[in-house]
Amino acid sequence: MDKAVLLEQLRSYPDYDAAVLRIEDADFGCEEPKDSPDLWLLLLTEQGEFSREIPEKLVERLHLTIGSLCRLSDLELSLS
């Protein structure tokens, strides 16, 4: 997904403060996966890119896909 296009969309929809660049299974390394698995999201904001592990059920509930706009508060995240 083109970052410039996503940033323009974010500016056009002020209710949203992040866009989803990538979604992948979270890497647990040698650990056993949790009962409620997490997904790894790469997010884009006006301040740049960052990644977080988010519960898969929350990603599904918010219908997030690559290119989706979202609110960090809905993901229970903040930039601070």
The predicted pLDDT at position 46 comes to: 94
Please list the pLDDT of the chain residue by residue as tens digits (80 residues).
799 999 999 999 999 999 999 999 876 556 565 566 899 999 999 999 999 999 999 999 999 999 999 999 998 876 65
DSSP, collapsed to helix, strand or coil, labels residue 34 as coil
The HSE-up count of residue 47 (CA atoms within 13 Å, CB side) is 8
pTM metric for this prediction: 0.83
Give residue 58's Cα distance to chain centre: 10
The predicted pLDDT at position 62 comes to: 94
Q: Which of 27, 35, 79 has the alpha carbon at shortest distance from 57?
A: 35
Q: Give me the domains of the chain, ranges plus CATH numbers.
A: 3-70 (2.40.50)
